[in-house]
Amino acid sequence: MTEATAKPFVSLAPDNRPTPRTTFDFALHRFLDDLFVAQPVMATQVGFHAHDDRWPDMSDEGRTSRLAMLRHHRARFEALDPDELSRDERIDRGIVLGAIDEMEFSEAELREAAWDPLTYVYIAGSGLFALLARDFAPWGHRGAAFAGRVAGLPLLFERARGALVGLPGRPVSLLHTEAALNQLAGIGELIDQGLAEADRQAEAGERHAAEAIRSVEPAARRSLAEFARHLEQEVRPRASGEGRLGARLFGAKLRHTLASDLTPDELRARAEEEYARVRAEMSSLARQMWPSLVPDEPLPDAASDGSPAAAEDRLVRTVIERVARDHQRPEDLLTFCQAEVGRIEEFCRQHQVITLADEPLEVTWTPVFMRAYGRAFLDSPGPLDKGQRSYFWITPPDEAAGAEAVAGYMREQNDRMLSLLSIHEGVPGHYLQLTRANQCPSLTRAVFASGTFIEGWAVYVTQVMIDLGFGADDPGLQMVNLKYYLRAVTNALMDVAIHAGDMTEQQAMELMVGGGFQEEDEARAKWLRARLTATQLSTYFVGSLELWQLERQMRRREGDDFEYRLHLESVIAHGSPPIRWLRTILVGDEADS
């Protein structure tokens, strides 16, 4: 199913999976053994390193083989007798079967590899980056694996050229093709970084990797150039559209992404209700802030602005614009966020919000191959890589977009927004949650992570921090927090309207800029992301709603004994499971099957 290098690769990294002891454990290990062979980049990201020199087989034969493997293991898990499983194992079996369902849907129905060229940029970028980013094994392992993956790039891109022909009724996406062309340079940069690291290691006596990488580098770069030429000259002329999924396929993918039966229509209705509530709260806060922020101007009113709605819009927009004047220079973004993480951690200590993590966190620029996907990310080590560094990535403003776009970027990413991002991506958001998830004794819950739980936690806990008094003396922070949450709401509305409807760019701008008070630069970046990553933008809103619902359930159960710190720590003590299964773990109101 995968392509190996000519010289056999011998892993020097340990298998950190716990020793299987029960029937379920053995079934899980057999599944992971096959899954990691079929998806070696995923295996590297998880922290299983026996196949670090390989790429997945992206041919149709490889896809067929993966489907057969998934169906084989589904049958094995379904055949397990529930009476012979512990309660935790019954929950874990449900999580595994849900993960298999999602992977089978991706391979059998969604089939992005046939119509989305970004698939290959992401695979190649992730597979190379993961070997350079962390010292999970000696350089003798990582360097040899890097050489193996560089050697395998020609076949990976050859198969990509053969696969990118579209599907009946779903041609190759022009939008995704153009985005892939914009990101491809990042793969060459990763090869440069690998060579630089190999040369540095060679000075210390580790010469083999440098020689091996240089021997395969020319063919890899030719294949990269040929793939770019193929996309530009052959794929792009026949590509069309934006990869919109349509109502049926979007609804199916949403069900798998959320691990929920929530329909697109139900999601839209919930988001519209929340949209109205948050905007009303922003209006009320803006009215309180106006006298101090805009002392020389009267409050907007219907008579001067033409309508009550126009007056409310100007009220909120003016206050936000004044708050956004406090922002950094682009070159200071990293140092500001690094310091902000430290300030937030101190608040957590003083107020005993949650136990902090000791693993290293580095604030750095987003790698080029990932910049189309967003403005800030948290890249964490896999659950089997212990004690490794996490990266809080920040995407720099695009200087090529012009001075006004850069200025808009900085207004959007103002000091208060960067503070909230440092909570969301750092503490107690993604960095802390994923660090704790990697300590979960359940291999299932650590490996098969739910993006809805992960993103929902970061949105939820940001509001918890505000509720606990972070920035209590700063109404500007509270206003930007409402705007930040409103972004999650409008993202969900846009996600549904694009992929299950026919939303235009103008309508999206009206929703985000007009309705959500975003800068145009931020809105255009999100318009791109929404079309590239169907269903992902809904995870923030839905995950936070479900975690607030879980908190209410726990408060009813615990009564006067409810303690926020204990609750928060219990929520992140079980890996990153779908929230329906977390509810089973903590409350027990789902069927254990």
Does 394 share its domain with 501?
A: yes
Question: How do beta strands 55-56 and 361-365 pair?
Answer: unpaired
pLDDT digits (tens, 9 = 90+) for 187-196: 999 999 999 9
Residue located via tokens 């927090």 = 481
Q: Which residues of 379-404 are buried (b: 16+ CB within 10 A; e: fewer)?
A: bbbbbbbeebbbbbbbbebeeeeeee
**pLDDT value at residue 590:** 44
pLDDT digits (tens, 9 = 90+) for 221-270: 999 999 999 999 999 999 999 999 999 999 999 999 999 989 999 999 99
List beta partners, residue 365: 394
| Structural contact between residues 378 and 431, judged by C-beta atoms closer than 8 angstroms | yes
Does 227 share its domain with 374?
A: no
Average model confidence (pLDDT) for the chain?
Answer: 95
**pLDDT value at residue 431:** 97
The Cα 317–Cα 532 span in angstroms is 29
Instruction: Identify the band that residue 592 occupies on the pLDDT scale cut at 50, 70 and 90.
Output: very low
Does 526 share its domain with 379?
A: yes
Does 339 share its domain with 232?
A: no
Q: What is the mean pLDDT of residues 196-210?
A: 92
Structural domain contains residue 420:
yes
**pLDDT over threshold 90, residue 588:** no
**pLDDT value at residue 387:** 84
User: What secondary structure letter does DSSP report for 21?
Assistant: -
Instruction: Identify the band that residue 7 occupies on the pLDDT scale cut at 50, 70 and 90.
Output: low
Q: What is the mean pLDDT of residues 77-84?
A: 97
The Cα 122–Cα 187 span in angstroms is 9
| E strand map for 93-177 | none
Structural domain contains residue 164:
yes
The last residue of one of the domains, among 189, 210, 243, is 243
Does 355 share its domain with 470?
A: yes
pLDDT digits (tens, 9 = 90+) for 537-552: 999 999 999 999 999 9
**pLDDT value at residue 304:** 86
**pLDDT over threshold 50, residue 4:** no
Q: What is the mean pLDDT of residues 484-495?
A: 98
Does 345 share its domain with 481?
A: yes
Q: How far is CA 441 from the centre of its chain?
A: 23
Q: Which helix H or strand E contains 253, and what residues bound it?
A: helix 247-258
Total of domains in the chain: 2
Structural domain contains residue 547:
yes
The last residue of one of the domains, among 220, 243, 266, is 243
Structural domain contains residue 312:
no
User: pTM for this structure?
Assistant: 0.94
Q: What is the mean pLDDT of residues 76-83?
A: 97
Does 235 share its domain with 353?
A: no
Residue located via tokens 């008094």 = 469
**pLDDT over threshold 70, residue 5:** no
Structural domain contains residue 464:
yes
pLDDT digits (tens, 9 = 90+) for 549-575: 999 999 999 999 999 999 999 999 999
Give the range among 9-18, 241-250, 283-292, 339-348 with minimum mean pLDDT: 9-18
**pLDDT over threshold 60, residue 164:** yes
Instruction: Identify the band that residue 205 occupies on the pLDDT scale cut at 50, 70 and 90.
Output: confident
The Cα 576–Cα 391 span in angstroms is 18
User: Does a cis peptide bond (omega within 30 degrees of 0) precede residue 295?
Assistant: no
The Cα 386–Cα 87 span in angstroms is 27
**pLDDT value at residue 589:** 55
Provide the domain limits for residue 45: 2-243
Q: Token pair of 267, please? A: 């999601």
In 3-state terms the chain splits into helix, strand, coil percentages (rounded to 5) of 70, 5, 30
Does 209 share its domain with 341?
A: no
**pLDDT over threshold 60, residue 531:** yes
DSSP string computed for 201-242: HHHTT--HHHHHHHHHHHHHHHHHHHHHHHIIIIIHHH--S-
Q: What is the mean pLDDT of residues 509-520?
A: 96
Burial of residue 262 (number of CB atoms within 10 Å: 0-12, 13-18, 19+)? middle
| Structural contact between residues 150 and 289, judged by C-beta atoms closer than 8 angstroms | no
Q: What is the mean pLDDT of residues 481-501?
A: 98
**pLDDT value at residue 455:** 97
**pLDDT value at residue 2:** 45
**pLDDT value at residue 369:** 78
The Cα 382–Cα 239 span in angstroms is 36
**pLDDT value at residue 475:** 97
Q: What is the mean pLDDT of residues 53-58?
A: 98
pLDDT digits (tens, 9 = 90+) for 112-126: 999 999 999 999 999
Does 386 share its domain with 485?
A: yes
Does 213 share its domain with 337?
A: no
pLDDT digits (tens, 9 = 90+) for 298-320: 999 988 889 999 999 999 999 99
**pLDDT value at residue 64:** 98
Does 348 share its domain with 237?
A: no
Q: Which of 127, 314, 149 is nearest to 217 (CA)?
A: 149
Q: Which of 395, 416, 391 is nearest to 406 (CA)?
A: 395
**pLDDT over threshold 80, residue 591:** no
Structural domain contains residue 51:
yes
| Structural contact between residues 459 and 541, judged by C-beta atoms closer than 8 angstroms | yes
Q: Which of 306, 324, 325, 305 is nearest to 315 (CA)?
A: 305
Give the range among 383-397, 476-490, 501-515 with minimum mean pLDDT: 383-397
Question: What percent of the chain is modeled with pLDDT above 70?
Answer: 98
Amino acid sitting at position 301 = D
Does 415 share its domain with 515?
A: yes
- Count of positions (residues) in the chain: 593
End-to-end CA distance of the chain, in Å?
Answer: 32
**pLDDT value at residue 373:** 72
Structural domain contains residue 180:
yes
pLDDT digits (tens, 9 = 90+) for 456-473: 999 999 999 999 999 999
**pLDDT over threshold 50, residue 6:** no
Q: What is the mean pLDDT of residues 508-531?
A: 95
Q: Which residues contact 39 (CB under 8 A, 6 or more apart)?
A: 56, 66
Q: Which residues of 318-331 are buried (b: 16+ CB within 10 A; e: fewer)?
A: bbbebbbeebbeee
Q: Which residues contact 252 (CB under 8 A, 6 or more apart)?
A: 105, 109
Structural domain contains residue 317:
no
The last residue of one of the domains, among 202, 217, 243, is 243
